[in-house]
Amino acid sequence: MDTQYFQRVTKLSPTRFWINNPTREQADLAIAAGAVGCTNNPSYSQKIIDHPREGLYASQLLDDAIQETNSTSEAVVLFQRKLVIPIAEKFLPLYRQSDGEQGYVSIQGDPINEEDPDVILLEARNNLQIGKNICCKVPTTEAGLRAMEVLIGEGVAVNATEIFGVSQMISVCELYKRVTWRTGLKPMLYMSHIAGIYDDYLKNYVDEKKVKIEPDILWQAGLAIARKTYNVMKERDYSAVFVAGGARGLQHFTEMVGGEVCVTINWEGMADKLLEANYPVVYRIFNPVPQKVIDELMEKLPDFKRGYLDDGLSEEEYEGFGPVQLFRSSFIKSWKQVLNLAEERRKALEEGAIHLDAGKNRMSQ
């Protein structure tokens, strides 16, 4: 009899566990616990280089990337790719065993230049060289949609991320329908709704504007939109896999159980806590949100309303939507930290302060 939490979730529901931004050790632990996929975002490089046990390994890979490129920006992009390679290799057997249904590792690159679809496409195509189980993670903005149209048309698996509003999901899924009808190719499409960051954004708004709203009602906001997004996706029979991302509390996993959903969470503070708590597996995603809760959220929080309505946002508005900007700002901050570190190490290399064996491949360390 399965006793471990994620094993029971897999056995008793269609919900699946993905791991987010893992170290090599965490990837192993997650796979052993039942993880069937992995997401990596632009904060990944900074997380690994700052990790107490992975820092030296990451620093060596960064030095290699600096030596192999002509600019700091190129080095940071390559550095992220080097970090993802061993993670993708760990999930590759699962990808092969499932005939490409599971075992994907998604990677999202440079957040500073994500307004340019050509940059998104260049990085995506380079990332695909990592392995067969790479999924290109692309922001659901006007530029990102243009890039997705090309990638899907080429048969590339895509994880459409930075989705906060129902309208963003509809845009992605309608795009996929048009492209696959035209080309006949049907690559995997993951649709990542970021409920936890949405909750952070709305909490900041409530605090700043001193909005009078019960914490119990505010607590339901991000998940209410996630539930509606999932329901609309299923009602319209869209060919996408719902990914619940941006978890900030255990509820962002447990409240999605029961749906055909992949929930992506960090290991420390999330997956380990769920394993420790070992909750009963209870279908919660279909629990209705009371209409009076929706009405109050719609009335008091304008950006909840924009996210909740099917037509609450136009494609031109996705990029500037508050929750998207909040999410992206955290990525840019982390990316710039690694850029600054890479620039310092490049200067030290040029000055002879760091001596490296350029021909040595450290990626197996």
In this predicted structure, the answer to whether residue 115 has a pLDDT above a threshold of 70 is: yes
In this predicted structure, the answer to whether residue 365 has a pLDDT above a threshold of 70 is: no
For residue range 123-168, what is the model confidence (pLDDT) as tens digits? 999 999 999 999 999 999 999 999 999 999 999 999 999 999 999 9
For residue range 301-336, what is the model confidence (pLDDT) as tens digits? 999 999 999 999 999 999 999 999 999 999 999 999
Cβ-based neighbours of 315, under 8 Å, separated by 6 or more = 142, 145, 171
In this predicted structure, the answer to whether residue 100 has a pLDDT above a threshold of 50 is: yes
| Among 169, 161, 148, residue whose Cα is nearest residue 307 | 169
What's the rounded mean pLDDT across residues 86-104?
A: 97
How many C-beta atoms surround the C-beta of residue 353 within 10 A? 9
| Among 42, 20, 21, 46, residue whose Cα is nearest residue 112 | 42
Q: How far apart are CA 121 and CA 145, in angstroms?
A: 11
For residue range 232-285, what is the model confidence (pLDDT) as tens digits? 999 999 999 999 999 999 999 999 999 999 999 999 999 999 999 999 999 999
| Among 39, 194, 170, residue whose Cα is nearest residue 104 | 39
Q: How far apart are CA 184 and CA 264, in angstroms?
A: 30
Residue 198 in tokens? 């949405």
Burial of 314 (0-12, 13-18, 19+ CB in 10 A): exposed
C-beta separation of 177 from 260 below 8 A: no
Domains of the chain as residue ranges with CATH = 5-350 (3.20.20.70)
For residue range 1-45, what is the model confidence (pLDDT) as tens digits? 568 999 999 999 999 999 999 999 999 999 999 999 999 999 999
The pLDDT assigned to 360 comes to: 36
Pairing of β 241-245 and β 261-265: parallel
Q: Which residue has tokens 């600096």?
A: 66
Q: Which residues pair with 264 in a beta bridge?
A: 18
Tell how far CA 314 is from the center of its chain: 22
Q: How far apart are CA 18 and CA 27, in angstroms?
A: 10
The pLDDT assigned to 357 comes to: 43
Q: How far apart are CA 153 and CA 157, in angstroms?
A: 10
Q: Which amino acid is at 9?
A: V
In this predicted structure, the answer to whether residue 363 has a pLDDT above a threshold of 50 is: no
Q: How far apart are CA 276 and CA 289, in angstroms?
A: 28
Q: How far apart are CA 44 and CA 50, in angstroms?
A: 10
C-beta separation of 5 from 275 below 8 A: yes
| Among 317, 362, 339, 361, residue whose Cα is nearest residue 74 | 339
| Among 222, 259, 188, 240, residue whose Cα is nearest residue 16 | 259
Cβ-based neighbours of 88, under 8 Å, separated by 6 or more = 38, 105, 130, 131, 133, 134
Angle subtended by helix axes 55-67 and 322-350, to nearest 10: 70
The helix (run of H) or strand (run of E) holding residue 194 is strand 189-194
For residue range 327-361, what is the model confidence (pLDDT) as tens digits? 999 999 999 999 999 999 999 988 875 554 443 33
Q: How far apart are CA 323 and CA 320, in angstroms?
A: 9
pTM of the model: 0.93
| Among 343, 332, 334, residue whose Cα is nearest residue 71 | 343
Q: How far apart are CA 17 and CA 348, in angstroms?
A: 42
C-alpha count within 13 angstroms, C-beta hemisphere, residue 295: 3
